[in-house]
Structure 1
């Protein structure tokens, strides 16, 4: 009897899967990669937010200088009255550096670093009124912003520009306010008297008027220094028009 031909049986090799340790290692690596990716994305978002904030600050700085230049160029030696009806100098500027709210010249509940009267207001509707306008620059305390956190957690302030009519505050004027810039570390005004023979540092004074007998006089120039978080200290000089 002849045996039937038999074909060899092909046995597939054994396919070994991942061990538990290998799975744990793979999961751990995946978690680390995911965490690093999240941190990188979060860091990029924070950097973008900070860059955006700084860009906004730079734009705000330019706006501040534009307002200062226009207001100071149009300053006029016109006295004004306070809330009590007392006549004040044509320009009042506080002494030294100012950072905290409540250290300025009072008009109602607000405080001012600098007050004066300007001319040259536009009157497109040709309304019968004076072209004079009272101007006041004041500061208010900022809230903490993590995008602008200081190393020493120093307080910062915002600078506001107020203007109103009528000029004399005793008439309870309607004050209109505009926020110019936030996150100011310090702000300083210096004034150059018309009697100065030089523009060197010793000729500048930190408050105006320089004496009571000069209440009716304006300085010939004002220097403004603003130290801004994320930008640094910037100095600008603004000459006044000769009256």
Structure 2
């Protein structure tokens, strides 16, 4: 009897390898793992593209905030004259698309490296035009020509600003009695 069991273990007549059902199950499991891997990779690539777009938007917004902060910290209480010679407030805020822009003011701190015949003050205006937030800079404070608009943000449908007046009240449209008044914030 011991011989009989020994022959079964060393039998060369038995089958070696996998059955068709086992191969089909193995291929099915492999295909499921492959599909899951491709889906995971595709999700990672899509996530990377979305993240890059969001980071680009954030960087653009940070540049805008930095530019606005620099411009507003240099704002001067100096009224200017428009093209018709009419005196305009040093700091003007208008809603909608207007000639003067959404926000217009005189700022200092503009270096004059080439010694051009101009002041170190410059008039700056921000406006929304065709869905773009643009920054305009005037060559001369009083009635000067406008430089090429710099596009700061695109995809803008509107802009809402608030200002703090001398009494500490927040107002949405800056109106002042004196032409040289500036908002506190």
Q: Same fold (TM over 0.5)?
A: yes
If you compute each CA radius of gyration, which structure gives the higher value, 1 or 2? 2
Q: How many residues align?
A: 174
Q: Which runs of 5+ in 2 are unaligned?
A: 1-10
TM-score scaled to structure 2, two decimals? 0.72
| Structure 2 CA distance for partners of 1:85 and 1:12, relative to 1, 3 Å | farther
Q: Using the alignment, how far apart are the partners of 2:40 and 2:12 within structure 1?
A: 50
Structure number with higher strand proportion: 1
Per-residue displacement from partner, 1:36-80 (whole Å, max 9, x unpaired)? 112211222233333333333443333223212221122222224
User: Which residue of 95, 99, 122 corresponds with 1:106?
Assistant: 99
In the other structure, the counterpart of 1:136 is: 125
Structure 1 consecutive aligned stretches of length 4 or more whose deviation exceeds 6 Å: 183-186
Per-residue displacement from partner, 1:180-232 (whole Å, max 9, x unpaired)? x45668743112223x1xx3xxx11111224xx43x1332323xxxxxxxxxx
Q: Using the alignment, how far apart are the partners of 1:104 and 1:221 within structure 2?
A: 24
Residue 22 of structure 1 and its aligned partner are, at CA, apart by 4.2
- Asked which structure has the greater RCO (Cα within 8 Å, sep 6+), the reply is 1
Aligned Cα RMSD in Å? 3.1
Residue 177 of structure 1 and its aligned partner are, at CA, apart by 0.8
Residue 117 of structure 1 and its aligned partner are, at CA, apart by 2.0
Asked whether the 8 Å contact 1:192–1:219 carries over to 2, the reply is no
Residue 114 of structure 1 and its aligned partner are, at CA, apart by 0.9
Per-residue displacement from partner, 1:148-203 (whole Å, max 9, x unpaired)? xxxxxxxxx6533232313456x543324142x45668743112223x1xx3xxx1
TM-score scaled to structure 1, two decimals? 0.58
Q: Which runs of 5+ in 1 are unaligned?
A: 1-9, 96-102, 142-156, 223-243
